[in-house]
Amino acid sequence: MQQINHGSNHHEIVLEHGKLHVFANEEVLESFQSKVYEMADNNLRIPRNVYMGYTPDAHVGVGTCIGTTAVWNMEDGCVSPSIVGVDIGCGMRVHTTSLHRNDIVDKKIRRALIAAIEKYVPTNERTNTHYADIDIMNVVQHGLGGLPDKYVPDNQWLTHVEQAVFQYEHAYLEHLPPRILKNAHGQLGTLGSGNHFIEIQYLEISEDQRELAAKWGLFEGQVVVMIHSGSRAWGAMLGREYNMALKEAMHLWGVHNPDPNLIYAPIASREGQTYLNLMYSALNFAVSNRHMIAFGVREAFREVFGSELEMPVLYDLMHNYALKEFHRNRPMLVHRKGATRALPPNHFLNTPAYKTTGHPALIPGSMGTSSYIMVGREEGIKNFYSICHGAGRARSRRATKELVTVDQFQQSLRVGTEDEVLVNHRTLEKILDECPQAYKNVDEIIDSVVGASLADVVAKCKPMAAIKGL
């Protein structure tokens, strides 16, 4: 394995089947396991690959590492469910408030907010949505445009998003897995478990980005809400179904790969087109799910602070998808698995609301650590404008439970102090596998991204309360 150091945290790894670009500082790079390079080499066996890159949070996943950007030309390339991930459309959303940190520093107020959020946003897997009047088929066909007007507080909730509706051929919905409508119907506006969360934070604005922050409506000490969730049962069922379908097709075509979990098909094939079109239906569900979670959070804040309080959406974006984008004057299919698009100012793909500034790139940390709001740079083209999607796991859930104690988890949340990060769980043992010790050092990850000139930090988001699924 040959390594070429291009400087500025950009490393080119020459593997047997192609080149992998890694964006990480030396400390993060040294922490990479050999398995991440093995998985990259397997991915590079997929024919006609144009580009493959790792962000610094890269770690081993199923078939493909989380933290991967992989690109093929639309006319002769491939699509891979493994390089999208099972939680199709999983992503981030941030809403701002007019509140200052001092307004919620009292633990009683934060506990009231947690209780109110749990009232409006189901966090228990066995609790169905509060929005049974929403037609799921309208949502998966039309995205945010399929929601009833009463659930759209203002037009900004439709415009300040990466994409409000993902267009596709609705005829492909005839290929939906059995029972998907039944399973997904009760989940719109629900959080889900695992690493999904709602977090109440306050902002520390970067000194050199105060002008941009002001343009985005951000200020020092501002209370914001960060939401992390995906397409729930809709995406999970599609992911499982079409992993199996494409795996069977690969067998019939005589296509083999050392990793049986790496699944792909030509974009132009019947299987590839079916997966792509149904994947877009899951993206519509995902953006609508985060929208409805945010609607519930808004109701909760109004219950505590009064009905006049507004919560404008800062931005909503995804980090598990494959999108048709134009690069190098050609249409390309850009896969991002655990990677966040970060477009620079004046890029033509920016949503109109952020055309001149570039859009907010939302990067969560882990429970008890900072999250970040960033903005892309022109130099980001070298990784197809992809940056990290979070801190990235440092160890598995099982290993975390074996190596980290509840006491250590409590210390990381500063339990018992005035600035304790409050959580909705009665016992931390239930969510021990989501403790900060399970993740890489998010500050090192962000340092890697900034040092690679992929994006800049606009604000650091400091946690005050976290709501996790049960």
Percent helix / strand / coil, the chain, rounded to 5:
35, 25, 35
Given the residues 10, 142, 335, 389, select the one marked as catalytic.
389
pLDDT at 445 over 90: yes
Domain of residue 213 covers: 2-394+439-468
At which residue do the structure tokens 């690109």 appear?
71
280 located within any domain: yes
| Whole-number percent of the chain with pLDDT over 90 | 80
pLDDT at 322 over 90: yes
Which tens digit of pLDDT belongs to each residue from 373-393? Answer: 999 999 999 999 999 999 888
pLDDT at 427 over 90: no
406 located within any domain: no
DSSP structure class, residue 444: H
| Whole-number percent of the chain with pLDDT over 70 | 99
More confident residue, 398 or 254: 254
Helix residue ranges per DSSP H, 172-269: 180-185, 210-215, 232-253
pLDDT at 126 over 80: no
429 located within any domain: no
pLDDT at 407 over 90: no
Contact 315, 292 (CB under 8 A): no
Alpha-carbon distance of 458 to 362, in angstroms, equals: 10
pLDDT at 124 over 80: no
Rounded to whole angstroms, the maximal C-alpha distance in the chain is 63
Average pLDDT over residues 229-244: 91
Which tens digit of pLDDT belongs to each residue from 58-71? Answer: 999 999 999 999 99
Instruction: Name the E strands within 279-392.
Output: 313-318, 320-327, 330-337, 339-341, 360-363, 371-376, 386-388
Average pLDDT over residues 420-439: 83
Instruction: Tell me the pTM.
Output: 0.96
422 located within any domain: no
CA 299, 420, 364, 123 torsion-angle sign: negative
* Lowest mean pLDDT segment, chosen from 1-10, 37-46, 354-363, 412-421: 412-421
The CATH number given to whatever domain includes residue 176 is 3.90.1860.10
Alpha-carbon distance of 220 to 214, in angstroms, equals: 10
Strands 2-7 and 455-468: unpaired
- H/E element holding 449? helix 442-451
356 located within any domain: yes
Average pLDDT over residues 285-295: 97
255 located within any domain: yes
Closest CA to 297 of 198, 186, 426: 198
* Residue 394 neighbours by CB distance under 10 Å: 17
Contact 225, 95 (CB under 8 A): yes
Domain tally, the chain: 1
Which tens digit of pLDDT belongs to each residue from 130-152? Answer: 888 999 999 999 999 999 999 99
428 located within any domain: no
Alpha-carbon distance of 297 to 122, in angstroms, equals: 11
SS (H, E, C) 247-308: HHHHHHHCCCCCCCCCCCEECCCHHHHHHHHHHHHHHHHHHHHHHHHHHHHHHHHHHHHCCC
Active site residue 389: yes
Model confidence band, residue 419 (pLDDT cutoffs 50, 70, 90): confident
Contact 293, 198 (CB under 8 A): yes
Which tens digit of pLDDT belongs to each residue from 18-48? Answer: 999 999 999 999 999 999 999 999 999 999 9
451 located within any domain: yes
Model confidence band, residue 78 (pLDDT cutoffs 50, 70, 90): very high
